[in-house]
Amino acid sequence: MYHKFDVVIVGSGGAGLMAAMQLPNASVAVLTKVYPTRSHTGAAQGGVAAALGNREEDHWKWHMYDTVKGGDYLVDQPAAEILTRDAIDAVYELEHRGLPFNRTEDGLIDQRFFGGHTRNYGEGPVRRSCYAADRTGHMILQTMYQSSIKNEVRYFNEFLVLDLLINEGQACGVVALEIKTGEIHTFHGKAILFATGGYGRAWRVTSNAFACMGDGMSIAYRRGIPLQDMEMYQFHPTGIYKVGVLLSEAARGEGGKLLNGKGEYFMERYMPTLKDLAPRDIVSRCIVQEIKDGNGIDGKDYVYLDVRHLGAEKIAEKLPDITDFARNYLGVEPITEPVPIQPTAHYAMGGIPTDIDARVVLDSQWTPMPGFYAAGEVACVSVHGANRLGTNSLVDLIVFGRRAGKHMAKFIEETSHVPLPANHEEFSREYVDRLYSSTGGESAAHIRSELQNEMIDNVFVERTDEGLRHALDKIADLQEAYKKVQLQDKGKRFNTEMMEAIELGFLLDCSEATIHGALARTESRGAHFRLDYQKRDDVNWLKHTLAYRGTKAHDVRLDYKDVILIDDPIFKPKERKY
């Protein structure tokens, strides 16, 4: 079936919906493979940072400094300026749309501490995170969806996008599978926005939803668009042991502390100033170090998150959801017992390279592809550099989702629809038909499980040349096996086995680019920590990785792009201490 719109948005999380809001005079289709309110933005707990100064003095430039330093200086600094300046207006916009923020005694938006956010360029923690209990992402998603009802945005729920259409060097549409019927649809647009989120499901232990399969990144990558800084993947320190479900950094923002098997609050030893509120990459590495030193609980591979000293009342008021998770999934009562945690795959700092208006750029020269936009976790602006600060993901969504929407609004005024390329559904139809008719005998679930184990064994918090090479060989084998995936469900109607098989292909692509970036980067920076190259190397590696797909797992081509610095001594790269 053929559909024509001015703007086609793929993904209905915070970035996609924020963009849709900016287009009241355009025809807009939002394609989502779930229902909009099921998007993974809804799982974000802690808050959204903006230097409102409602609790104490704060400035966007302090926020910018924290973002740049938190990202271990791999951040493009003009983008970080936009992120932190626009954050203030964007948070007010959310409030005006009805977001039920917690309030101060004076009725202002309340703010609390969060990892890596400091006053006066690193002096000490600052209350910058605006929040709605520990369900801030849920409230952003609900509020945006509610606003979109008012604006009459057209949704295509449970549509899985398979391909990006490009003609005459411009993006002009997408092809999608309607899950309910198995039908193939073409959406023809003047502007296409990918807001499809991350790929945490590549790891066995992850905070990410089943939907987070790297769809948008992989689809772009297959069409010759590079993926940037994919080696920069964040492992959140406090996932529920074995399950991976997140216990928000808000727990530490409210005063929670990490405890090892010797009964020691060990972060004080590593990071004397910020302690448990040091950025996530550092805290995760400290946990892994404690476990290696035999300081895990009973010598095992986990430590505790301790909130007992906060008291029952504060826990119930400020952290209701995460205490519920601990009770439900571990049978642990956080008011009286410490909670077993381990680092969990959480967030892609890398993704589809974009400029500050969310336009996708194709190379180290910043050449844009007209009509193609990306925003949110799928994109790499880059505001998170080598490590994202807590609460900056929601800021990214609302700021760059909004900028994408505003830029598209102008772009569609100045342009007309580019014709679709010839045989535009051919790739997608062949892909789906091959899966239906395959008799290769391989199981997608089995391949995915092998991938997830390999990624946690060799592409996790600590990396080595040997481990990464092992992972790359493994990916090559799994990609071969993937060609032989066979389905049991041959039906057209709501075929989730088909869907999972297609998504596995996405995960394999994203993992491949991640490993190549990590293997080449012979330094340690932010979330990318090499046991064999433990120092940051600004002389050789203050640059972004661009990975271009080849024909096989080993054939990926790498290029590099300069990090953009601004002329201000405060932001000059220096050693990162907290």
Partner 1 sequence: MNILIRIKRFDPERDSKPYWDEFRVEADPIDRLLDTLNTIKWTMDGTLTFRRSCAHGVCGSDAMRINGRNRLACKVLMRDVGNKVTIEPMLGYAVIKDLVVDMDRFFEKYRSVKPFLITYDNEPGTERLQSQAQREVYDEGTKCILCGACTGSCPSIWGNPDWVGPASIVNAHRFIFDSRDQGAAERLQLLSRKDGVWRCRTIFNCADACPRGIPVTDLIEQVKRAIVYGGPEEA
Residues classed as catalytic:
280
Q: Report the nearest approach of partner 1 to the CB of residue 239 (Å).
A: 11
Between CA 116 and CA 448 the distance in angstroms is 34
Which one of 21, 22, 40, 306 is in contact with partner 1 (CB under 8 A)? 40
How many of the other CB atoms lie within 10 Å of CB of 242?
Answer: 15
Residues 164-203, one symbol each (x = binds partner 1 by CB under 8 A, - = not), give ----------------x-----------------------
Please report whether residue 209 would count as binding partner 1 according to CB under 8 A. yes
Please report whether residue 436 would count as binding partner 1 according to CB under 8 A. no
Please report whether residue 85 would count as binding partner 1 according to CB under 8 A. no
Q: Would the annotation count 38 as a binding residue?
A: yes
Angle between helices 444-458 and 465-482 (to 10 degrees): 170
Q: Please, what's the b/e burial string for 274-292 (b: 16 or more CB within 10 A of its CB; e: otherwise)?
A: bbbbbbbbbbbbbbbebbe
Between CA 63 and CA 120 the distance in angstroms is 9
Q: Compute how many residues bind partner 1; rule: CB under 8 A.
A: 61
Apex 55 CA angle, 76 and 85, nearest 5:
25
Span of 68-76, 321-329, 417-425, 455-463 interacting with partner 1 by CB under 8 A: 321-329
Q: Which two tokens stand for residue 543?
A: 């640059």
Span of 88-96, 222-230, 263-271, 364-372 interacting with partner 1 by CB under 8 A: 88-96
Closer to partner 1 at the Cβ: 442 or 465? Answer: 442
Concatenated DSSP letters of 355-378: -TT-EEE-STT--EEEEEEE-STT
Closer to partner 1 at the Cβ: 324 or 413? Answer: 324
Q: Would the annotation count 501 as a binding residue?
A: no
Which one of 18, 211, 307, 348 is in contact with partner 1 (CB under 8 A)? 211
Question: Which DSSP symbol is given to 493?
Answer: T
Q: Would the annotation count 148 as a binding residue?
A: no
Apex 481 CA angle, 480 and 484, nearest 5:
105
Asked if 556 and 516 count as a contact pair (C-beta separation under 8 A), the reply is yes
Contacts of 15 (CB under 8 A, 6+ apart): 41, 195, 375, 376, 377, 378, 379, 396, 397, 398, 400, 401, 404
Span of 93-101, 333-341, 458-466, 472-480 interacting with partner 1 by CB under 8 A: 93-101
Which one of 15, 31, 245, 478 is in contact with partner 1 (CB under 8 A)? 245
- Region of 329 please: left (phi>0), alpha (psi -120 to 50) or beta: alpha
Residues numbered 132 to 171 that lie near partner 1 (CB under 8 A) are 132-133, 135, 138-139, 142, 146-147, 149-150, 157
Closer to partner 1 at the Cβ: 43 or 360? Answer: 43
Which one of 1, 56, 100, 531 is in contact with partner 1 (CB under 8 A)? 100
Q: Please, what's the b/e burial string for 520-546 (b: 16 or more CB within 10 A of its CB; e: otherwise)?
A: ebebbbbbbbbeebeebebeebbbbbb
Q: Which residues bind partner 1 (CB under 8 A)?
A: 34-35, 37-40, 42-43, 52, 92, 95-98, 100-103, 105-109, 132-133, 135, 138-139, 142, 146-147, 149-150, 157, 180, 209-211, 243, 245, 321, 324-325, 328-331, 443, 445-446, 449, 487-489, 491-497
Give the residue ranges of the annotated binding site. 11-16, 32-47, 215, 236, 248, 346, 377, 388, 393-394
Q: Which residues are annotated as a binding site for FAD?
A: 11-16, 32-47, 215, 377, 393-394
